[in-house]
């Protein structure tokens, strides 16, 4: 489903070249749940953005369902991204002046769904997240945990088969973090592929597979629940 072939990415910082990814190759099967761990600056978020079609690599190829993502025209890549990939971010990225319902409607509007269809789909997703009584609330009127649940509902709006989560529990209290991880496990059991960047060893262990990055390279790749995986975190 997802494949990276010798992918590299460089940044220029204060006149120096920083190699965020250094010839990374990996395959992620459909329906897998992969956690990506490693120290700050190891390339975790860069890997996620490149997988999701948000950041062009300097070298190498990224394949999504057999298509070379960065050989597509920008509008074609955007279409693949909208139809295939759902993003979850640590900072939620909700539109502050829109209600919970309207925030979830945004990707549906961009996909050309009619107004009635938008509202029905968004309402159903927010109800699934336990927010049926918060449809008309704006982000500032919601708790942090509720904001993350709105972001999760929005992520599912276009029924993506790939979910990319960047520190989805980073700003949450332990109880809310557990509910988010349970939700990711639930949608993974529905057949979706989940790739989650995290600094939390306990969150990483909830995945089926753990990738550990170091200096832009994959240092290890094994079952997340194994003792050896946690030892090398």
Band (pLDDT 50/70/90 cuts) for residue 224 is low
CB-CB contact of 156 with 86 (8 Å): yes
At residue 57 the predicted structure's pLDDT band, cuts being 50, 70 and 90, is: very high
Return d(Cα 197, Cα 39) in angstroms, integer.
11
What sign does the CA torsion over 222, 225, 228, 230 have?
positive
For 106, list phi and psi in degrees, rounded to 5.
-55, -55
pLDDT value at residue 82: 84
pLDDT at 233 over 60: no
pLDDT higher than threshold 90 for residue 16:
no
State pTM to two decimals.
0.89
How many whole angstroms separate alpha carbon 209 and alpha carbon 34?
5
C-beta separation of 180 from 144 below 8 A: no
Alpha-carbon separation of residue 49 from 21, 142, 178, 210 (angstroms):
12, 28, 24, 18
DSSP 110-177: HTT--HHHHHHHHHHHHHHTT-GGGTT--GGGS-HHHHHHHHHHHHTTT--SEEEEESTTTTS-HHHH
pLDDT at residue 25 is higher than 70: yes
In eight-state DSSP terms, residue 43 is S
As a whole number, the mean pLDDT across the chain is 90
Domains and CATH numbers, the chain: 2-93+160-231 (3.40.50.300)
pLDDT exceeding 90 applies to what percent of the chain? 70
Contact 152, 138 (CB under 8 A): no
Q: What is the mean pLDDT of residues 40-52?
A: 92
Higher pLDDT, 82 or 205: 205
Q: Looking at the predicted structure, is the pLDDT value of residue 39 above 80?
A: yes
- Average pLDDT, stretch 67-91? 89
184 or 16, higher pLDDT: 184
Q: Residue 170: what pLDDT?
A: 83
d(CA 111, CA 182): 28
- Residue 225's pLDDT band, with cuts at 50, 70 and 90, is low
Residue 145 has pLDDT above 60, yes or no: yes
């Amino acid at each position: 489903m997802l494949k990276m072939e010798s992918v590299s990415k460089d940044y220029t910082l204060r006149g120096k070249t920083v190699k965020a990814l250094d010839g990374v190759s990996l395959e992620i099967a459909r329906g897998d749940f992969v956690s990506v761990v490693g120290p700050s600056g190891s390339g975790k978020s860069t890997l996620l953005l490149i997988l999701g079609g948000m950041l062009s690599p300097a070298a190498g190829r990224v394949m999504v369902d057999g298509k070379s993502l960065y050989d597509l025209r920008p509008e074609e890549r955007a279409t693949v991204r909208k139809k295939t990939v759902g993003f979850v971010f640590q900072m939620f990225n909700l539109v502050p002046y829109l209600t919970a319902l309207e925030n979830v409607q945004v990707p549906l509007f961009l996909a050309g769904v009619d107004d009635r269809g938008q509202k029905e789909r968004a309402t159903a997703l927010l109800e699934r997240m336990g927010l049926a009584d918060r449809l008309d609330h704006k982000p500032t009127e919601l708790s942090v945990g509720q904001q993350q649940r709105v972001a999760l509902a929005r992520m599912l709006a276009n029924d993506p088969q790939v979910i990319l989560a960047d520190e989805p529990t980073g700003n949450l209290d332990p109880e809310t973090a557990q509910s988010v991880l349970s939700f990711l496990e639930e949608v993974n059991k529905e057949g979706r592929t989940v790739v989650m960047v995290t600094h939390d060893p306990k969150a990483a262990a909830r995945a089926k597979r753990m990738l550990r990055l170091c200096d832009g390279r994959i240092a290890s790749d094994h079952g997340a629940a194994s003792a050896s995986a946690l030892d090398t975190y």
